[in-house]
Structure 1
Amino acid sequence: MPTTRRALLAAAPALAFAGAAEAQPAWPARPIRLIVPFSAGGAADSAARVITPHMTEKLGQNFLVENRTGASGSLGGNEVARATDGHTFLWDASSHLVNPALLPRLPFDYATAFTPISLVVTFPSAVAVKNDFPARTLAEFVAAAKARPGAVTVGTQGNATAGHLGLIAFARRAGIEVIHVPYRGGAAAAQDLAGGAIDAVFTTLVSAGPVVDGGRARFLAVGTAERVESRPDVPTIAESGFAGFESNEWAGLFGPAGTPPAVVQAMSDALVSAVAVPSIRQRLIQIGCVPLATRPDDFARFVREGREAMATLVREANIRAE
């Protein structure tokens, strides 16, 4: 039976769609590079390596975690900002919000170079003190700091990190003056705390946990809104006399600017699926994370508001990059 003109016209949209589908290769078409701008074994890197095996299963391609450290995380950020292969993503943290205020001459703009996909986990911050420090509560720590202005030493994971900014915010709120001691990572700060070289740390539970568990330091409070499941006996800073105070590190997933919505959705779905797996969720909790896997719109709002807040804090506290 001959094909009529009407039948050809009716079939045209379907044929055009089929041609477009053939022109667009399936995604992902090859392994996915996940750039982590922090050292291997740290909090952000550890969370990525817990989650990515499930994402490999979900999306059908391997996730290759690459640690690109340097320049407060901006070297890794630049690697993703200029990526055009459709298979390179950024696993970033709070430096993503702080760097625009500290590093004005970057070759890219944090506000426009990336597509927010998900706030995957948070890393509760914590105040911990060395064993012989004369404070068993946060209130006692504040009293000790007020009794010796500018004498109590507090280590963080580095200048302009989440720990440093959290310490500044807390010291302002508590009305205390302490000496900030920046380290190259929270684990190094925790080790000096355990050895008695510094009085306290304001860093993540992940970093300080081992020395506390080893009996060489003790927690006073955590910076989350609610008590942490893995440390239910440690009160929050908020319930220790500083209502509403919250300060934590986090890790989130970004694509380069212009990442197709379908790819954003696929990555978001894979992350939501991953943190819902009981074994993965439990492992994240064990290493000190709070699993979230928020959706893109929520993460974009978090990034936008956080960038504005950090810019204000950096300016008012006169923080400078090292």
Structure 2
Amino acid sequence: MMRLSRRALLAASGSFALASPAMLNPAWAQTAWPSRSIRLIVPFAAGGAADSAARVITPRMGERLGQGFVVENRTGASGSLGGGEVARSNDGHTFLWDASSHIVNPSLLRGLPFDYATAFTPISLVVAFPSAVAVKNDFPARTLAEFVAAAKARPGAVTVGTQGNATAGHLGLVAFARRAGIEVVHVPYRGGSAAAQDLASGAIDAVFTTLVSAGPVVDAGRARFLAVGTLTRVESRPDVPTIHESGYEGFDSNEWAGFFGPATTPPAVVRQLSAALTEAVAEPTIRQRLVQIGCVPMATSPEDFTRFVREGREAMATLVREANIRAE
């Protein structure tokens, strides 16, 4: 699920179909684009990992494009409120910075006023936020194998917190539990930091959330990492093994942030934004700041991101259905 390996993304092939109505929207009929500030809707709270990454990257993008970015947080309804704002925009300067909810919401939310599959133009998978399994200090496991053994010894007794119902953490936990053949108790929180705090206090046994959320309590000596959900070890935590190398080959489950335009975005604008993103993420100082806040820089092509979104949406539909996951 949510495969983020660079090799897989770069291997993606096929044509990238942009919506032809783009050229019919008068908002795009500019002699030069952009002609004013670019509005970037982030459907998550200010200060979180996705929001922080956007604020690191967009100033450099603005320098290349000749116009600044205004980052606007529009939270609510699992990110669909912010998504809807962009889906119905027609000013030629409003874009979306979305995450895994983009590929999960279509299977969970009913009555949406837009279709995620047709309302947006994928531009780039910008960064990944590695997931991680961490346990409280007195939990009797030092490795992922020992964690699985402990869960099998007490079916339905081990409590695992995530950043919320139907989030990347929840879906990653479900996928891992199915692969490992274990039954655990899912404890949803309103954010990964809240789950990590309860882990540190001993209120729950473990978490399946992002490295950036669990990192502070691990660094404070109040919990410990067992594994990360990426295919290769993470630059900021090279000592933590992957789930993939711990006996679950190919397991790759992480949060991410990507850049989308409305469906009417012209190909020329997609190319401009993609080039600006690629340049910004490749800049050493920006890359260093992204790594410091727990990101893995990606900056994929529009073609690869289009494939990633489509395949991810299909995979999530299957997982949500088979695991009987429901929105709150």
Which band: TM-score by shorter chain? Answer: over 0.9
Residue number in structure 1 paired with 2:272: 266
- 1:90 aligned residue: 96
1:24 Cα offset (Å):
2.8
2:149 counterpart (112, 132, 143): 143
Structure 1 residues 121-132: aligned runs within 5 Å = 121-132=127-138
Which residue in 1 is equivalent to 2:165?
159
Using structure 2 for the length normalisation, give the TM-score.
Answer: 0.90
Determine the C-alpha separation between the residues in 2 that align with 1:29 and 1:196.
53
Larger relative contact order, structure 1 or 2 (CA cutoff 8 Å, min sep 6): 2
Q: How far apart are residue 234 of structure 1 and its match?
A: 0.1
The number of residues matched between the two structures is 300
- 1:248 aligns with 254
Establish whether residue 120 from structure 1 lines up as the match of residue 117 from structure 2.
no
Following superposition, the deviation at residue 126 of structure 1 comes to 0.2
Gaps of 5+ in 2: 1-28
Give the structure 2 partner of residue 31 of structure 1.
37
Secondary structure of 1:111's partner? coil
Q: CA deviation at 1:43?
A: 1.2
Secondary structure of residue in 1 paired with 2:130:
strand
Match for residue 220 of structure 1? 226
> Per-residue displacement from partner, 1:126-167 (whole Å, max 9, x unpaired)?
000111111100001011111111111100010000000000
Aligned residue for 1:80? Answer: 86
Aligned residue in 1 for 2:53: 47
Q: Aligned partners of 1:198 and 1:59: how far apart in 2? A: 47
**Superposed structure 1 runs of 4+ greater than 3 Å apart:** none
For each residue in 1:61-105, what CA deviation from the matched residue of structure 2 results, as whole angstroms up to 9, or x when unmatched?
A: 111111111100000000000000010000000000000000131
Please point out which of 42, 51, 63 is paired with 2:69.
Answer: 63
Shift, 1:53, TM fit = 1.1
Please state whether the residue corresponding to 2:80 is helix, strand or coil. Answer: helix
Show the counterpart of 1:3: none
Query: Match of 2:190?
Result: 184
One-letter code aligned to 2:150: A
Cα distance, 1:316 vs structure 2:
0.4
Unaligned residue ranges in structure 1 (runs of 5+)? 1-22
Aligned partner of 1:109 in structure 2 is 115
Equivalent residue of 2:128, what SS? Answer: strand
Name which of 232, 241, 244 aligns with 2:238: 232
SS of the aligned residue for 2:170 comes to: helix
Q: Distance in 2 between matches of 1:64 and 1:191?
A: 32
Aligned-partner Cα distance in 2 for 1:45–1:176: 34
Separation (CA, whole Å) in 2 of partners of 1:217 and 1:261: 47
1:286 maps to which residue?
292
Classify the secondary structure of the residue corresponding to 1:120: strand
Structure 2 residue 212 is the aligned partner of structure 1 residue 206: yes
TM-score, normalised with respect to structure 1? 0.92
RMSD: 0.8
Q: Write the distance in 1 (CA, Å) between the matches of 2:30 and 2:221.
A: 57
- The one-letter code sitting in structure 1 at the alignment partner of 2:127 is V
Equivalent position SS for 1:90: strand
Q: Give the Cα–Cα distance (whole angstroms) in 1 for the partners of residues 222 and 271 of structure 2.
A: 45
Aligned identity (percent) is 86
